[in-house]
C-alpha cells in the first residue's frame, strides 16, 4: 500500500474529479482510496473569502498564521505596558 502521495499527484487527481471522473474509478486506475480522493477534493476545493477564491488548505494555513500573529501581538502589548511603567 502506497502512502504519502506527492502534492502534484493529489492535485492532478482532484482536477480529474473536477473534470467529471468519479473517485471510485480513479481509485482503481491510480491507487489511492476513493475516500482519500474525496478528502483531497475537499482540501483543494476553492473557498470564496471576501471575493477571493482560495483552497480550504490555504484557508487553514492562514487561520493558523493569524492565531500565531494574534498571540505575538498580545505578547508585544504586554511588553509595551511593562516598558511604559519603567
Residue indicated by cell numbers 492535485:
11
Lowest mean pLDDT among 1-5, 7-11, 19-23, 49-53: 1-5
25-69 residue pLDDT tens: 999 999 999 999 999 998 887 877 788 888 888 888 899 999 999
The answer, as to whether pTM is greater than 0.75, is: no
Cβ atoms of 44 and 31 closer than 8 Å: no
SS (H, E, C) the chain: CCCCCCHHHHHHHHHHHHCCCCHHHHHHHHCCCHHHHHHHHHHHCEEEECCEEEEHHHHHHHHHHHHHHHHHHHHHHHHHHHHHHC
Query: pLDDT tier at 2 (50, 70, 90 boundaries)?
Result: low
Amino acid at each position: 500500500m502506497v502512502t504519502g502521495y506527492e502534492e502534484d499527484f493529489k492535485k492532478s487527481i482532484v482536477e480529474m474529479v473536477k473534470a467529471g471522473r468519479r473517485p471510485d474509478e480513479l481509485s482503481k486506475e491510480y491507487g489511492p482510496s476513493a475516500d482519500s480522493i474525496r478528502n483531497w477534493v475537499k482540501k483543494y476545493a476553492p473557498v470564496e473569502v471576501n471575493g477571493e477564491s482560495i483552497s480550504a488548505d490555504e484557508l487553514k494555513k492562514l487561520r493558523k498564521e493569524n492565531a500565531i500573529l494574534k498571540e505575538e501581538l498580545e505578547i508585544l502589548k504586554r511588553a509595551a505596558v511593562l516598558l511604559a511603567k519603567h
